[in-house]
Amino acid sequence: MKPEFVRAGLRSLATPVLTPLERLADLPPAARQLVTAGVLRLADSKMLIEDPLTPFNIASHPQSATETPAAFGREDRIERIIEQATGQGLKPAFHNLMQEFAYTLIDVCGNPSQQALVADWLSRGFVGSYLMTDAGGPGISDWQTSLREDGGQLYVRVNKLWAIEAHRAEFLLVVARPQRGFLPLTFLLDPARVATLDRAPVGQPFLEGHLQLGNVQGEVPVFPEDILKQGGLAVVNKALTFARPRFVRALMAHLTWLETEGRLLIDETDRSLVQCVVQAADTICARKSFTRESVDDVLATKYLANELLLKLVVSGCVEQAGDERDLLAFSKMEGSSYRCFLELYSKHKARRS
C-alpha cells in the first residue's frame, strides 16, 4: 500500500474537498488518492500560477445548525425511487426523481399561486424543464439569457442549453441574468409563452433513449409575478442542497444495478469507494437541518461521486459504450468536478495559514 499523500504544496489544493468528506464518511486511502489526483488534474492556470500553496486552515468544526429544516416532505417518495434504481437502474426512475426535485424547488421557492399553476399543469400531463446552463458559459456576467426593458415592458431573452426534456417542455423555469447586479432571477413561464420559444433536441439521448436534452432560444415578455422568490435566493440553494446528495445516492444505486446486470466489473477498491460515497450522501440526507457546512458537504460528495464514475470508465470496468457515456454525463450533471472543486477552493482560498 502506498503511503497516504501528504497535504503539502500542490496537494494542499485538495484540502477544501477532503475536509468536508472527512466529517461525512470514513475515507479509505483510495478515496483520498482519487480526490487528490482529480484536484491535480483540474487545477487551472490561475491556481497553478497565483496560489501560494500554503496549507488551508479549514477547521473540521462541529456542525452549526441553522434555523432551516432540511426536510421538504418528499423524502419517502424519493427513497422509494432510489430503491427502484437499485433494482432496475436509473432508466425507469430518472424522470420520477427529477419530478420530485422540481416539486421541491416549486414548493420552497414558489408562492401559493405559482405552486397552484404548476400543480395544474402537471395534473394535465404537461412537461416542465429547468433551464440553467447558458449558451454564454458558466459566468453569470457572460450569460446570454438576460432581461431587457422596452416601453415599460420587461422581456427575457433566452439562450439555454442541454436541459432535460427542454425540446418538448410546455412550461419552463428559466434562470436569467438581471438588468443590474449578479444575483440570478428565476422565472416561471406558462405554456402560452413557452410555445413561442424555439425548442430543439440536442445530441443523442441517454439511458437507452430515455433521457433527451434540449436547447431553448427566443424572447418572451415577463412580469414580476413570474419571478420565483419565496424565501429569497438562498432557498434555491437549499433546494439544490437537498436534491444533490439524493441524486448521488441514485447514481450509486445505478452502479449497483449495472453490476448486478453484469455491465460493470467492480473490484474491492471500487466497492470501498462506492460505500464511501453512499456513506457521505447518507450522512447529509439524515440531517434534520441545514448547517453552515451543508453546501461544502454536498459539493465535496458530488465531486467524489464524479471522480469515481470517471475512474470506472477510464479503467475499462464498464462493458457498454452507452453506459460509459451515461456515467460521464452524470458526472457533469448537478455539478461537474471542476465546478465543485472551483466553488470549494474559491470559498476557502483566503483561509490559509
Ligand X SMILES: Cc1cc2nc3c(=O)[nH]c(=O)nc-3n(C[C@H](O)[C@H](O)[C@H](O)COP(=O)(O)OP(=O)(O)OC[C@H]3O[C@@H](n4cnc5c(N)ncnc54)[C@H](O)[C@@H]3O)c2cc1C
E-only strand ranges, 1-117:
65-69
Are 81 and 96 within 8 A, CB to CB? Answer: yes
- Nearer to ligand X (CB atom), residue 42 or residue 258: 42
Question: What's the order of all strands across the beta sheet hosting 128-131?
Answer: 128-131, 171-176, 185-189
10 binds ligand X (CB under 6 A): no
**CA 127 – CA 116 distance, rounded (Å):** 15
As measured in angstroms, the least distance from the Cβ of 262 to ligand X is 24
- Nearer to ligand X (CB atom), residue 144 or residue 336: 336
As measured in angstroms, the least distance from the Cβ of 36 to ligand X is 15
Are 109 and 186 within 8 A, CB to CB? Answer: yes
37 binds ligand X (CB under 6 A): no
Q: DSSP 3-state assignment of 183?
A: coil
Region near ligand X per CB under 6 A, out of 249-257, 300-308, 311-319, 325-333? 325-333
Residue 159, all three cell numbers: 439562450
Residues 93-152 that bind ligand X (CB under 6 A): 130-133, 137-138
Residue with cell 458530488: 302
Neighbour count for residue 125 (Cβ, 10 Å): 7
As measured in angstroms, the least distance from the Cβ of 69 to ligand X is 26
Region near ligand X per CB under 6 A, out of 102-110, 178-186, 308-316, 326-334? 326-334
Which of 34, 164, 250, 274 contacts ligand X by CB under 6 A?
164
Counting residues that bind ligand X (by CB under 6 A) gives: 19
Residue with cell 437549499: 238
Show the site string, 334-353: x = touches ligand X by CB under 6 A, - = not: --x-xx--------------
Show the site string, 195-224: x = touches ligand X by CB under 6 A, - = not: -----------x------x-----------
**CA 196 – CA 190 distance, rounded (Å):** 11
Are 165 and 173 within 8 A, CB to CB? Answer: no
Q: Which residues bind ligand X (CB under 6 A)?
A: 42, 44, 130-133, 137-138, 162-164, 206, 213, 329, 332-333, 336, 338-339
